Amino acid sequence: MSASTASTNYTPKTKVGRITNFVDERVGGSGILREFGRKVFPDHWSFMFGEVALYSFVILLLSGTFLTFFFDPSMTETVYKGSFVPLKGVEMSAAYNSSLNISFDIRGGLFMRQVHHWAALLFVASIAVHMLRVFFTGAFRKPREMNWVVGGFLLILAMAEGFTGYSLPDDLLSGNGLRIIDGVIKSIPIVGTYISFFLFGGEFPGTHIISRLYTLHILLIPAIILLMIAVHLFMVVVHKHTQYPGPGRNDHNVVGYPLGPVYAAKAGGFFFIVFGVVALMAAAFTINPIWNYGPYDPSPVSAGTQPDWYIGFVDGALRLMPGWLFGIPMEWHVPLPWGTNTLTLNVLLPALVPAGIIFAVLFTYPWIERWITKDNREHHVLDRPRNAPTRTAIGVAGFILYCVMWAAASSDLIATHFHVSLNDVTYWLRALFFIGPIIGFIVSKRISLALQRKDREIALHGRETGRIVRLPHGEFIEVHAPVDEYKRYKLVGFESPLPLPATPNAQGVVDRREKRRAKLSRWFFEDRVAPVTPRELEAAHGHGHHEEIAAEEDKKAVIR
């Protein structure tokens, strides 16, 4: 820095100034502040979910650290001597014992457990909502594809972190969850049995799994999450935030509030708000009442044995898959030279395939869309979901697929609470698994197009005012109020690309791949509503002169 000579001449006047200057001369904070102090962030409620996830993670670190001071991740058998009467004298593992002690004998321990668990549910949920927002607004497009992938990894890591934590108290519910995981792992061909042995240190349940999960839960996975968050935020800084379309916003600028003071205050204050909401839930609503479930024992099980919500879709898929499909067994005995091996498709398929498809599409979608649309430009202005009908429809279809599996994980509770047959719930959900996404695709695409048409109407003819006016010759019309140019620009300032026909490559040949791409491009873009052009607006105003007359006549007309 050339300012090195200047800084020696600079003498701060206040005490704070002297301290700041001392630090600044040694780490060069001025440069950072100059870069970030007034960095602009766009403001929209849907941009806040990433922050919710980040803040939930901070809450998880804080409450989790407290819990580690009292939790004993050991499966040594012990006898409960704490203050919860219905478990007194019951044999249990040290892990469950210490979880009960945290809940009943350490002041604030129960509160911290509940904060930790509610924050965990919120952490994964806010990541999911954040990703839905990014997908439906097209924020994953160039240059943000890699950050989308990092976000996808964060989702998987969050699920892994959640599941390892869910299992730690070694209660009956989580123990049966581990048993299901063991069954799923054993279904993996060739290596499954050994992975199960290695994970559990021998046969299920063994005496090692809790301490191993503990290491993953408090050390390895959070460290990777932290690293990924750093990468994620670094890329956000590099890319700057996206913004919704509107007047004054384009791909070359970012419009919003400066970080200091407004945005920093809002974002900083929001941390306390998220913490407050989590504390509110922990104050008044029980989560994971481990004392109800009792210690893990391979014999008992409770009705309503479910995983936490984010694993629910896998559990639901396991429930939906029939063991016999039209009389064909889904467990295959594969004759091999050294003997017969077992391929457990009724477990393997539902456990791996739907999750595999969802994550494969999620990770590759930016590249799929870029290939179809041949759109290699940078995008910093978001699409309103209605203005990208096919993408929106794909997202809705995927979301419905997920939700059907999710609902299936609670099939027994749906049955008891809506007084229907458990079996019928499963049959319906099996059908919906296939039909639901298709219906969702069609309906959401049509709704998107309809909303686009509505936008056109408003841009051309203005907003419906609800005032009915009778003209002198007896005709009734509704008065439309014209929209101002800023509002209008929001309605018309979007791109509506046409299908991109197949183009020859360098050799002058249209290859098969390119033909396929053209076909997909057609599918992607053929249904479209073009944005209003200035000429159309002019024409509409000329054409729609009677509306102006209506406004004139307004005062004289009979208003009903």
Partner 1 sequence: MGDHSHDSPTGSDVVAAAGQSETERFQDPGIPPHRPRLADTDPRAAKRAERQVAILFAVSVIGTLLFFVGYFAFDPNASIGTLRLQNLFLGLGTAFAMLGIGVGIVHWAKTLMPDHEVSEERHAIRTEDDRVAAEKIVEDILEETGIKRRPLIRNTIIGALALAPLPAIVMFRDLDNSSLSVDRLRHTMWKEGVRLTRDPSGTPIKASDVTIGSAFHVIPEGLNESPNKLEEKAKAVVLLMRLDPAALHPSPGREDWGYNGIVAYSKICTHVGCPVALYEQQTHHLLCPCHQSTFDLTQECKVIFGPANRPLPQLPIKVDSEGYLVAQSDFHEPVGPSYWERG
Partner 2 sequence: MGLLFTGGLYAVATTVNQAKADTQSFSASDVKEGEKLFLANCATCHGMGGSGTNSGPSLVGVGAAAVDFQVGTGRMPMQMQGPQAQVKPKQFTDDQTHQLAGYVASLGAGPSIPAAEYLDEKGDAAKGGELFRVNCAMCHNAAAAGGALTRGKFAPALAGVSGQHIYEAMVTGPQNMPVFNDANITPQNKRDIITFLKTIEANGSPGGADLGSLGPVSEGLFLWIAGLGVIIAFTIWLTSRTS
Q: Does 344 bind partner 2 (CB under 8 A)?
A: no
Residues binding partner 1: number (CB under 8 A): 139
Site for partner 2 in 415-434 (CB under 8 A): 415-416, 419-424
Nearer residue to partner 1 within complex by CB, 1 or 303: 303
Site for partner 2 in 41-100 (CB under 8 A): 43-49, 52, 85-90
Site for partner 1 in 186-225 (CB under 8 A): 186-194, 196-206, 208
Distance from the first to the final alpha carbon of the chain: 75
Amino acid at 516: R
> Where does this chain touch partner 2 (CB under 8 A) — which range of 295-303, 345-353, 358-366, 435-443?
295-303
Nearer residue to partner 1 within complex by CB, 313 or 399: 313
Residue 384, both tokens = 């309103």
Nearer residue to partner 2 within complex by CB, 424 or 552: 424
Given a contact cutoff of 8 angstroms between Cβ atoms, the answer to whether 209 and 201 are in contact is yes
Surface-to-core class of residue 76, CB atoms within 10 Å of its CB (0-12 exposed, 13-18 middle, 19+ buried): exposed
The CB-of-402 to partner 1 minimum distance in angstroms stands at: 18
Bridge partner residues of 342 (DSSP):
333
Site for partner 2 in 397-416 (CB under 8 A): 409-413, 415-416
Question: What gap in Å lies between CA 148 and CA 110, rounded to an integer?
Answer: 36
Site for partner 2 in 145-204 (CB under 8 A): 172-173
Q: Does 533 bind partner 1 (CB under 8 A)?
A: yes
Site for partner 1 in 133-162 (CB under 8 A): 143
Nearer residue to partner 2 within complex by CB, 409 or 518: 409
Q: Does 292 bind partner 1 (CB under 8 A)?
A: no
Residue 218, both tokens = 């408090």
- The packing angle between helices 172-186 and 145-167, to 10°, is 120
Residue 365, both tokens = 């979608």
Site for partner 2 in 256-275 (CB under 8 A): 266, 269-270, 273-274
Surface-to-core class of residue 58, CB atoms within 10 Å of its CB (0-12 exposed, 13-18 middle, 19+ buried): middle
Q: Does 385 bind partner 2 (CB under 8 A)?
A: no
Given a contact cutoff of 8 angstroms between Cβ atoms, the answer to whether 441 and 393 are in contact is yes
Give the CA radius of gyration of the chain: 30
The CB-of-138 to partner 2 minimum distance in angstroms stands at: 20
Residue 272 interacting partner from partner 2, partner 1, none (CB closer than 5 to 8 Å by kind): partner 1
DSSP for 177-207 reads HHHHHHHHHHTSTTTHHHHHHHHHTSSSSTT
> Where does this chain touch partner 2 (CB under 8 A) — which range of 124-132, 380-388, 435-443, 544-552?
124-132
DSSP for 219-244 reads IIHHHHHHHHHHHHHHHHHHH---B-
The CB-of-51 to partner 1 minimum distance in angstroms stands at: 12
Of 397, 396, 408, residue with least CA distance to 312: 408
The CB-of-505 to partner 2 minimum distance in angstroms stands at: 47
Q: Does 423 bind partner 1 (CB under 8 A)?
A: yes
Site for partner 1 in 237-256 (CB under 8 A): 238-240, 247-248, 250-256
Q: Does 527 bind partner 1 (CB under 8 A)?
A: yes
Site for partner 2 in 477-536 (CB under 8 A): none
Nearer residue to partner 2 within complex by CB, 29 or 268: 268
CA 258 to centroid of chain Cα atoms: 27
